[in-house]
Amino acid sequence: MKKILSIISIILVVLILDILSKGVLLYLITGGVPLMGAAWDLVPHPYLMTPVTGFFNIVFTWNFGTAFSLFNGLGEYAPIALIIMTGFIIGVILYYLFARAKRYEIVPLALIAGGAIGNLLDRVRFGAVVDFLDFHLGGYHWPAFNVADVCIVVGVGLYILNWYIARRKCLENCNKGCK
């Protein structure tokens, strides 16, 4: 029961942070928080920028693709294909989390699932994902991203780190090796 509550809590915190951050941005731009609609109809300006520091801006952009705007040019069926693909991946992660995840996998996978669900909600609601965090060095900009993306990247990093630590401990504690 504790495992289930931990998973649900982490996913909910990620979703709340993601939805609130995107909602505040949409409110500041549109004067309201649209619940649904085509991305291009909701915000007429595809890209707005507010400098925060010499290396960080708040921007507004729609990401019609996946991470780093990959698959942005898939055409008119891209939103449906990405929704189906993302839903399938989330389902696999959630099944594994609730049915088989080891203790060290819970936080990373819940972060990944929460972030993926946050972006999926945008894709279902708007046909695209709201991205607004822009880090840059001079004229070189990292692709804009959002809170859900941060959680996914941190989750993947933690998963790899935790897997490596668990594997090392296992190899140190057994003579025959580990599977």
The residues annotated as belonging to the active site are 131, 149
DSSP structure class, residue 143: P
Query: Is 29 in contact with 48 (CB distance < 8 Å)?
Result: yes
Cα distance between residue 35 and residue 33, in whole Å: 6
User: 5-10 contacts: CB < 8 A, separation 24 or more?
Assistant: 6/106, 6/107, 6/110, 7/97, 7/98, 7/106, 7/110, 7/113, 10/106, 10/107, 10/110, 10/111, 10/114
